[in-house]
Amino acid sequence: MEACLLSSSSSYSLGNTKSLSRSCSRTYPHIIFVSGIRRSSNRWTRLSVTSSFRPTAVENSTFDVVVVGAGIIGLTVARRFLMTTNLSVAVVDAGVPCSGATGAGQGYIWMTHKTPGSETWDLCNRSKKLWEDLVDELRFHGVDPSQELGWKKTGSLLIGRTPEESEMLASRVKLLSEADLRAEFLSAGSLAAEEPSLQVGRDWSAAFVPDDCQIDAQLAVDFIEKGNRSSGLQGRYKEFFHEPVISLVRSDYGGEVVGVQTSKNILYCEQALVVATGAWSGSLIQDLFKGLNISFSVPVIPRKGYLVILENFQKMQLNHGIMEFGYVDHQIISRSSNLSASGVSECEKLSISMTATTDATGNLLLGSSRQFIGFDNGMDESIVNCILDRAQQFFPALRDLPRQDMLRSRKIRIGFRPYMHDGKPIIGPVPGLPKMILAAGHEGGGLTMALGTAEMVVDMVLNNVPKVDPTPYSLQGRCCS
């Protein structure tokens, strides 16, 4: 799978195991005003051309909803529209599904590291419930969710290694239980019995959430796409891949957004334009809004992450998904706290924290790194080694194996998490452009939050009563004053 993106500021490629870099020509986004008269659902919208740019193969198409970005967020938004409304939907992507962060995702749908009462709690909780509902529905129809989604209900263990962490884990278990989640505190002995693959130290302990689950991100995307495409048979769905969006199309009556210009097509939207372009949302919006008299910026930036996959790993199988406790215990390579020009502290630039899962086919997935390095998708072998070193501190089976043997069967996935400095995604209409909705900035929790985000977006467009309060995710005060 090979994918490339075009942006005004740079040409770049996306990386995961299957996608390698490819250079792309530069394209310059700008706002397009198309002249003439086009039909809108219940009125005529006058548009005028002011752009010198002409697409090479124009195919004008009108949909109720255009979704930009075919990561887990864009695809699940499209799915929700297709499953719960009669609206027609187009999905457009600069590359292909899974060419962004989604393709690198480890796949845990966990609550164990989420904090009850925090601003993302309700969305995560609702979203997890929607994943579980989907799994129940598949089972009801005789479909195996482990085949279709890589679904496993493994439970999760959040592991502490010091008496202080143990104390914090005990409080966390109390909080999770009070929030009606099944959660259990495991002391060292119980932890060793629950997860024999760990070498448990005397001070170790864990918060155990037995109902936590995992998916295989790439399988889940295939499944969602297959479902979306089946709606295409009724003429309600169309995909436009390898077509970066380069401009907005706006009505000359009040400048309402009426569509987007891709590298090949103009796609009109009658009800909504949903922008779900993950880590690229900040730069894309900046490009699209250039020349507009709107004071608006999306502070989503890329946070690069590696996942190491040891294929068909026989030496160790995990009973549960495992994550080490908190960022305080992460291996932070650069410790200087100087703020760089980007406002990101140096010590934030690279951190490694141990996560481990076994997927539905027996691969061992080891995570993960976090790094602010822009959209540089190069592969740095030292980061792979840091992830393996970290995992070795927990799993003796990895210590016993020569590093070269381990590396022989390894695959690396790299993705750019869409990072928001306040730890919450942005989900909501752009002030002044109500048809345009953003859904981005899910950082390391986009797989978990996808179905809840999709529900929230669709409820916004249809003016339904929201299931989860969208206020914390509003753009107001975060992207504009």
Q: Which two tokens stand for residue 333?
A: 């390579």
Q: What separation in angstroms does the CA of 328 have from each of 41, 324, 352, 383?
A: 54, 10, 11, 19
Q: Which two tokens stand for residue 445?
A: 């929790």
Q: Alpha carbon 136 to chain centroid distance?
A: 23
Residue closer to ligand FAD (CB basis): 200 or 364: 364
Task: Yes or no: say if 275 and 440 are a contact pair by the CB < 8 Å rule.
Answer: yes
Span of 39-47, 78-86, 176-184, 440-448 interacting with ligand FAD by CB under 6 A: 440-448
* Interacting residue with ligand FAD among 67, 82, 130, 284 (CB under 6 A): 284
Residue closer to ligand FAD (CB basis): 102 or 351: 102
Minimum Å distance from CB 64 to ligand FAD? Answer: 19
* Interacting residue with ligand FAD among 446, 468, 473, 479 (CB under 6 A): 446
Minimum Å distance from CB 42 to ligand FAD? Answer: 29
Closest by CA to 308, choosing from 368, 248, 259, 238, is: 368
Q: Which residues in 83-112 contact ligand FAD (CB under 6 A)?
A: 92-95, 99-102, 104-108
Measure the CA angle with vertex 103, ends 469 and 413; round to 5°. 125
**How many C-beta neighbours within 10 Å does residue 334 have?**
13
Residue closer to ligand FAD (CB basis): 69 or 259: 69
Count, residues near ligand FAD per rule CB under 6 A: 45
Length in residues, the chain: 481
Span of 44-52, 230-238, 394-402, 435-443 interacting with ligand FAD by CB under 6 A: 435-443
Question: Angle, to 10 degrees, between the axis of helix 72-84 and the axis of helix 217-232?
Answer: 40
Residue 442 to residue 300: CA distance in whole angstroms: 9
Residue 404 to residue 410: CA distance in whole angstroms: 10
Minimum Å distance from CB 369 to ligand FAD? Answer: 7
Residue 72 to residue 74: CA distance in whole angstroms: 6
Q: Which residues in 234-253 contact ligand FAD (CB under 6 A)?
A: 244-245
Span of 63-71, 136-144, 323-331, 471-479 interacting with ligand FAD by CB under 6 A: 63-71
- What are phi and psi for residue 139, nearest 5 degrees? -60, -40
> What b/e readout covers 27-37, taking b as 16+ CB neighbours within 10 angstroms?
bebbbbbbeee
Span of 72-80, 161-169, 264-272, 329-337 interacting with ligand FAD by CB under 6 A: 72-80
Q: What separation in angstroms does the CA of 196 have from each of 140, 180, 201?
A: 34, 28, 12
Q: What separation in angstroms does the CA of 335 have from each of 331, 350, 384?
A: 10, 10, 20
Minimum Å distance from CB 298 to ligand FAD? Answer: 12
Minimum Å distance from CB 216 to ligand FAD? Answer: 10
Minimum Å distance from CB 232 to ligand FAD? Answer: 19
* Interacting residue with ligand FAD among 145, 445, 452, 472 (CB under 6 A): 445
Residue closer to ligand FAD (CB basis): 200 or 461: 461
Residue reference for tokens 């397009």:
32
Q: Which residues in 341-400 contact ligand FAD (CB under 6 A)?
A: 367-368
Q: Alpha carbon 416 to chain centroid distance?
A: 9
**Backbone dihedral region of 199: left (phi > 0), alpha (psi from -120 to 50 degrees) or beta?**
beta
* Interacting residue with ligand FAD among 172, 442, 451, 461 (CB under 6 A): 442
Q: Which residues in 151-180 contact ligand FAD (CB under 6 A)?
A: none
* Interacting residue with ligand FAD among 73, 266, 322, 461 (CB under 6 A): 73
Binding mask 1-40 for ligand FAD (x = CB under 6 A): ----x--------x--------------------------
Minimum Å distance from CB 107 to ligand FAD? Answer: 5
**How many C-beta neighbours within 10 Å does residue 330 have?**
17
Binding site for ligand FAD (CB under 6 A): 5, 14, 68-74, 92-95, 99-102, 104-108, 244-245, 276-280, 284, 305, 307, 367-368, 415, 417-418, 440, 442-448
